[in-house]
Amino acid sequence: MSLGSDRQEGGAVARRHVAFFRNLNHGQRGSPTRDQLLAAFAAAHATEVTPFQGNGTVIFRASEPNHVVDLVRAGLSHEAGWSDVAPVRRASWVRDLVDHVGEVGDNAEISFYDHHREFPEPLPWRPESGRLTVVQADRLHAVSTNDERRTSYATPVLEALLGIGVTSRGLSTMLKLAERLR
């Protein structure tokens, strides 16, 4: 069976998913360790759990992925004092998103959030504070380009605009992730 195939899990299909944990960076003070993260996923009955790059991006297989990540978040809060957002997306959705980002340049980042309304601004959108331009967005993600290389402004700008927790990954990380998911 290939990495991309679905598996039966207790009568339900266990598909591959990706969780994007905010402020969970292995080795950073206040973040859970890799072992704590893996233990939390094991306790939540996820399978094939693979942390990707130690930046809070985790590939896993589950039939109820949002429930699994809710249990992981609760476990990490109890065991490590970590509590933040962790949007979950199907692996195929992540691959398709990266394939359709287009030519946004090296300074791009993709932000993830769970919003119940469409993006509130016409695109492309540039905040009054400047520093970035949102070029794609919907109720689940936004693609932004930063004015300066090696900067990351999307998370705080989008949190202020949307009023919810947001986590972002650089385009280079997302390209590597999409390749890993193939």
What is the distance between the alpha carbons of residues 112 and 5, in angstroms, rounded to a whole number?
A: 24
- Is residue 103 domain-shared with residue 158, that is, in the same domain? yes
Residues 64 and 106 in one domain: no
- Indicate the number of domains in the chain: 2
Residues 140, 64 within the same domain: no
pTM: 0.91
Q: Which of 52, 70, 86 is the last residue of a domain?
A: 86
Domain that holds residue 37: 7-86
Residue 15 lies in a domain: yes
Residue 72 domain flag: yes
Which neighbouring-strand residues pair with 89?
18
Tens place of pLDDT per residue across the chain (182 aa): 334 555 655 557 899 999 999 999 987 888 999 999 999 999 999 999 999 998 999 999 999 999 999 999 999 999 999 999 999 999 999 999 999 997 888 899 999 999 889 999 999 999 999 999 999 999 999 999 999 988 999 999 999 999 999 999 999 999 999 999 99
Using H for helix, E for strand and C for coil, what is the string for 137-151? ECCCEEEEEECCCCC
**Please, what is the angle between helix 34-43 and helix 65-80, to 10°?**
130
Q: In angstroms, what CA-CA distances link 152 with 7, 12, 26, 38, 54?
A: 37, 39, 19, 28, 18
